[in-house]
Structure 1
Amino acid sequence: MDTRRPLRILATVLGTAGLLISGCSGGSSKGTSPSESATAPAPPVPAGLTSYYAQHLEWRDCGVEGFQCTTMIAPLDYEKPGSGDIELAVSRKEATGPGRRVGSLLVNPGGPGGSAIEYLQSYAAVGYPAQVRARYDMVAIDPRGVARSEPVVCLSGPQMDTYTQVDQTPDDAREVTTLNNSFNEFADGCERHSGEILPHVSTVETARDMDMLRALLGDEKLHYVGASYGTFLGATYAGLFPGRVGRLVLDGAMDPSLDAAQLNREQTAGFEIAFQAFAADCVKKKDCPLGTTSTADAAQRMKRFFTDLDARPIATGEARRLTESLGTTGVIAAMYDESAWPQLREALSAAQNGDGSGLLSLSDSYYERRPNGTYANLMFANAAVNCLDLPPAFTGPEAVIRAVPDFEKTSPVFGRAFAWAALNCADWPVPPTGAPHRIEAKGAAPIVVVGTTRDPATPYKWAQSLAGQLDSGTLLTYRGDGHTAYGRGSDCIDTAINTYLLEGTPPTEGKKCS
C-alpha cells in the first residue's frame, strides 16, 4: 500500500451532465476572462527539440470503435536530446460536433501510474458530457513509464502477491526488518528490470511530453482535465509553460509545496475524515458490521478487526488469505468513493463471518491485480514517479518509529500503517530530482482548481493551497464525500466545469456546491 497514490480507482463512471445549476453558492470574482485572453507570450520550441516538435503523428485504428492511436517520440533525457529516445502512446476520439471545435482536451486520471489511455477509452470519451465531446477531440497520452508508454516493471505477479501481504504494522524488530527488506526488494526489482528509464519518469518530464503533444496536435494552447495526481501534472505544466495554458481543470488537487512527510501525514488525516464519514453513515444502519452505537465505537471495532487479522488471517476461497495489510488496503480502497460504502459494509460483514473474499477483491482493485494473478504496472510507476519527484518521507525505520505516534494521533484507524507505508522511497536506487515548491504560473489563463471537503486522498486544504499559489487559480468547492468532484453527481460542479470548458469562463471565486 502506498498512501501517496491519490488515484480515482472506484469512481470510474462519469454521468452525462447538463448545463443545469443547483446546490451552489457563489463568492467574489477572480480571473473571469476567457482562456484566449492570456497575455503571456508563448515560449519558443525549447533548444535542441526542433526535430521532436516537428515529427508527424501517424494515426491508425486502435481496434476500439471510434478511437485512433499513434505513438510519438520524446527524448529520454531532456537535458541530452538525441542521446536516446522514448516512445509514448497516444489515443484520441475526434470531436463529434455540432459546434465550433475548441481544440484537443487531454485527460489524465491520476496515480501517478494510471493509464490515461485506458481512462479515455473506458469512459472519458463516452462519459464526459456530450456538449464537451462535441467540441473537443478527446485525447490521452500514457505518461512515460506507464502502461503503453515503455512501462516500468519491478516484480512478477507472485512476487507482488508476496509484497502486498507483508505486515505494514510491524510489532517487533524482526517484522520491521521484513518490511524494510520488502521495500528494498521492490526497489531492486525496478532497477533490475527498468534501470534505463527509472531516472526519467518525473512529473516535469511528463509535463514536457505534454507540451510536445500539444504542438503535434496543432493546438496553440493546452486544454486539460486532470484528476488527483493529474492536478500536480497539470499545475507543473502551467508552471513550465504559462503562456500555453488554455482551459485547465485540476480536480482533487495536490499541493506541490509540501514535502513527502507532510503529504503522507495530511493524506492520513484525509482518510481518517473519510472513515469517520463512512462510520457515521454505517452506524445508522441496523446491519452495520461496526456496530450501531457511535462512530467512536465503530473506529475501535475497525482497529480490533485489523488487529485480529494480523494475528489470524482469514480464508478468501483461494490460496491467498486476507492478511491485515490486504484487509486495510481493501478498506482504504472503498474510502475513495461513497458509492462503494455498501460494498464495504457487505465485505466487512462477510469477513467477520470468516469470508475475506470481498475485502480481497477491493484490495485487488486498488493494486490493479488481474484475475490471472498478474498486475498492471500502476504500483511500479507510482513508486518510480513519487520517489523521483520528492526526497523520501523517511530515511529509515528509526525515523518511522519516531513518527508513528503523530500518525496514530492523526488517524487512530490507519495512522500506523500509513506511517510505515511511507518508508518505500528510503532506499530508492535513483536520487530524487524534484523538491517541494510553489507553483504560481504567472501570466497563465484562468485555471480552475476543484476541492472536495471530505476527500480522503487529496485533502481539501490542498486544493485551497494550490488555488492560492496559482496566479490565476480559481477555487471551486464541492461539499461532500469521495475523491474528486467532476462527473460524480453534482449538477452544480458539472455545470461550472462544463461552462468553463465550453466558454472559457471560470466559476466565480469562492463558489461552493453540494
Structure 2
Amino acid sequence: MTARGLLGWSTVSAPSRRPAVLVALLSVVLVVLSACSSSDSPDDAATSSSAAPTTPTEPSVAPVEWTDCTADIAPIIAGRPGADRPLTFGCGQIEVPLSYDDPTGPTLSLFAVRAVSGTQADRIGSLVVNPGGPGLSATDAAVQSALTLPDAVLARFDVVGVDPRGVGLSQPVTCIDDATKDELTAAEPRPTTADQLDAAFGLADDVAAGCVDEYGEGLGAFSTVDSARDLDVVRQAVGDEQLTYLGYSYGTTLGSTYAELFPDEVRALVLDGAVDPDASRQDAAEAQAQGFEAAFDAFAANCTSLVSGCPVGADPRTAVNDLLTQAETAPIPSSREGETRQATPGLVLAAVRSALYNPAAWPQLAQSLAAAQQGDSAGVLTLADTFTGRADDGTYTNTIDANITVSCADTDEDYSQSDVRTLVADWGTRYPLFGADAALSLYTCTPWDAPRTPLPDRDAEGAAPILVIGTQGDPVTPLPGAVDMAEDLTSGVLLTWQGSGHTAYPKSQCVTDAVNAYLVDLAAPTADLTCPA
C-alpha cells in the first residue's frame, strides 16, 4: 500500500523536507536531556486509558528550564527570509505523565523550542504552534514561524513549539524502517487487480504487526487526547494562565480537543485548515479525494493558460495518466547524482500531490512532469521526497510512523478488505487520480492491534471565542470541515479565505489582519468573515 493510501494524509499540513532545524537540534537535545531525569518508554509502562474522561487529571508541573540554543539554530536558518530578525532561541524539556490515569507514574519527555524577538514589548505570553500531521515537528514549526509570522505577533508573544509525544524529538515512535518506507511510497497507488490489492493489504498488515511487536500496548499512549492533556502541561510549564494557540490542519484536531477538555483555559485558539470533526474516516477520505481532483483541475487550468504554453501539454490530466502508465511498465530513471531509484507510479503521484498543497509549487510540478516525460525523474523524486520526508541519504523522519500511530490511536473505525475493495473500484472511477489511493487509506487501522482512544465530541462549551479558518480551494482539509467545526464549537467563529492551497494564515492581508487582531487584542470577528483571494 502506498504511503498516501496507508496513511490517508487527509490531516497532513504543508509538506516539507527533513527539517534542517531538527537535525541541528539533535546535538542540543543530548545536552538538555542529560541534565534532566530519564523517562520511561511507552512499551515499558502502563498505557493511557481507552476512554477520554471529561475531567482530566492535572499533574504537578515544573517550569521549563530553557537552554540557549541560538548558536545551533542560527547557521541553519542563515539566508532564509526572516533570518535577519533579532531572534534568540531556547531549547528545553517538559515532562508529562505517560498515563494521565497515573499522573505521578512514569513520564515522557517532550522537547520544546522557544523563539523570542528582540523587538518584543508588552509581552502577552506564549503563542504555542503546531503544524499538523499528525507527525510533523512543532519545534521546527516554531523556528519557521519566528521567521514568517507578522511582526505584530512577534512583538507580543514568545513563539513556542513542543513536539507532541512520539513525534520529532519527543521520544519519537519508530517502528517502520527506511526500506519499508521506500516500498510504501513507491507502491502502486491505483491498484486494479486482485494481486495488487492483496499486496497492498499485506503491506499494511506487516506495518501494523511491526509496530505492535515494537511497542505493544504502549502504542495506546500516543493518542490526541493524551497530547491535548500534554498541551495543558505545556501551558503551565511556560507560565501562562491561559493558552494562546495556532494550529494548522491536524493541529486543529489537537487544539479543539484541548478546548473540549480545558475550556476555561482557552485564551485564543486559531484553528487553520480545520479537519472536519463530524466526518467518518470514509467521509473524510472521499472529501480528500474530491479535493485533490479539484486542485489538480485548478493546476491544469493554470498551466494551460500560460502564454508560453503548459510544459506538459494541452491536456495535463491525460499527460499524468500517460506518465503513470509509463512508470508502471518502465519506471523512470533520474539524472540526480547518486540516485538509484526510478520513479514508479506511487512516486509520480506523490510528486503531484506534494505540489497541490501550495499553488506556488505548480510551476515546479509542471517542469518536473515535463522532464519525466522526457525520461528524467529527478524533479519528480524531489517533489515526492518533499511529501514523504525522505532525505537525500535515503533516511526518513519518523513522520510516517507517528502519523499511523496517532491516527489509529484516535479511531475505533475499522474497514474490512471487502469494504475497501468495493470502494477502490468505485472511487477509482469517480476520482480517477486520487480515489483508489484514498480508499486504500481506510484499511490502515484495521490490523492495528493496540488500545484506542477515540476523539471526543467537541463543543468546548464555556470556552472563549475560537477562530476557525477554512480555505475555499484547500484539497487537504476541504472547506466544509471548517464550517462544521465552527458550527460545533459553541464559541466558534468562521473565517473563510477564497484562496487555494492548504491553510490560510498569513497568506493574505485580510486573513492576517483578522488573526493578528484576535491573537493580540482578543478581537474575534463579530460574525463569520470572508476574505477574498
**TM bracket (short chain):** 0.7 to 0.9
Name the CA distance, whole Å, in 1 between partners of 2:248 and 2:363. Answer: 24
Aligned with 1:388 (options 409, 422, 434): 409
Pick aligned residue for 1:84 from 91, 106, 109: 106
For the pair 1:246 / 2:251, whether they are aligned, the reply is no
Give the stretch that moved more between structures: 347-356 or 502-511.
502-511
Counterpart of 2:8 in structure 1 is 3
Q: Tell me, yes or no, if the aligned pair for 2:16 and 2:387 is still in contact at 8 Å.
A: no
Deviation of 1:324 after TM superposition, in Å, equals 0.5
Is the 2:168–2:397 contact (alpha carbons within 8 Å) kept by the matching residues of 1? yes
Pair 1:45–1:400, CA change in 2 (3 A): closer
Pair 1:498 & 2:516 matched: yes
Q: CA deviation at 1:316?
A: 1.7
1:471 aligns with 2:506: no
Q: 1:60 aligns with which of 36, 59, 67?
A: 67
1:111 to 105, 111, 133: 133
Partner residue of 1:72 out of 82, 85, 94: 94
Q: Give the deviation of 1:189 after TM superposition.
A: 2.5
Structure 2 counterpart of 1:9, one-letter code: A
Distance in 1 (CA, whole Å) between partners of 2:166 and 2:486 is: 29
- Would the aligned equivalents of 1:76 and 1:197 in 2 still touch at CA under 8 Å? no
Q: 2:477, 2:502 within 8 Å by CA — same for their partners in 1? A: yes
Output the TM-score relative to the length of structure 2. Answer: 0.85
Q: Which residue of 2 aligns with 1:267?
A: 288
Structure 1 290/98 Cα, relative in aligned 2: closer, same or farther at 3 Å? Answer: closer
SS in 2 for 1:255: coil
Q: CA deviation at 1:133?
A: 0.8
CA gap of 1:86–1:11, structure 2 versus 1, over 3 A, is closer
Which residue is equivalent to 1:456? 475
Contact 1:9 1:365 in 2 (8 A): no
For residue 141 of structure 2, what is the amino acid of its counterpart?
Y
Q: Are 1:487 and 2:506 an aligned pair? A: yes
Instruction: Please state if 1:314 is matched with 2:335.
Output: no
**Kept in 2: contact 1:152–1:197 (CA 8 A):** no
CA contact (8 A) 2:470 2:482 kept: yes
Whose relative contact order is higher, 1 or 2, with alpha carbons under 8 Å and at least 6 apart?
A: 1
Looking at structure 1, the residues matched to 529 and 426 of structure 2 have their Cα atoms a distance apart, in angstroms, of 34
Deviations 1:193-240 (A, max 9, x none): 344641111111001000011112221110000011101111111111
2:462 to 435, 443, 446: 443
**What is the aligned counterpart of 1:338 among 350, 359, 368?**
359
TM-score, scaled relative to structure 1: 0.88
1:84 partner amino acid: P
CA contact (8 A) 2:185 2:350 kept: no
Aligned to 2:277: 256
Distance (Å, rounded) in 2 between the aligned partners of 1:392 and 1:447: 28
Letter matched to residue 464 of structure 1: V
Q: Which whole-Å deviations, capped at 9, do the CAs of 1:104-153 have from their partners, x for residues lacking one?
A: 100001100000001112x1012111111111111111000001001010
1:429 to 442, 449, 465: 449
Change (3 A) 1:329 1:153: same
* Aligned counterparts, 1:136-175, within 5 A: 136-175=157-196
1:403 partnered with 2:413 = no
In the TM superposition, residue 408 of structure 1 has moved relative to its aligned partner by 3.1
Percent same amino acid at aligned positions? 39
Shift of 1:91: 1.3
Does the Cα contact within 8 Å between 1:247 and 1:501 map onto a contact in 2? yes
- Letter of the 1:453 counterpart: Q
SS at match of 1:118: helix
Q: Per the alignment, in what secondary structure is the counterpart of residue 462 of structure 1?
A: helix
2:63–2:239 Cα contact (<8 Å) kept: no
Aligned to 1:24: none
What is residue 181 of structure 1 aligned with on the other side? Answer: 202
Unmatched 5+ residue regions in structure 1?
13-43
- Secondary structure class of the residue paired with 1:94: strand
In structure 2, distance between residues paired with 1:307 and 1:391: 36
SS of the residue 1:64 aligns to: helix
Contact 1:10 1:334 in 2 (8 A): no
Counterpart of 1:102? 124
The corresponding residue for 1:19 is none
Aligned-residue Cα RMSD (Å) equals 2.1
Count of residues in correspondence between the two structures:
473
Q: CA deviation at 1:380?
A: 0.7
Aligned-partner Cα distance in 2 for 1:393–1:331: 28
Per-residue CA deviations over 1:354-392 (Å, capped at 9, x if unaligned) read: 111111111111111111111000111001011111134
Label 1:349 to 1:229 Cα distance change in 2 as closer, same or farther (>3 A): same
Gaps of 5+ in 2: 18-53, 75-87
- Partners in 2 of 1:409 and 1:455 — Cα distance? 22
In structure 2, what residue type is equivalent to 1:71?
Q
Q: Distance in 2 between matches of 1:483 and 1:196?
A: 34
Partner Cα distance (1:335, 1:87) in 2: 35
How far residue 272 of structure 1 moved from its aligned partner, in angstroms, is 1.2
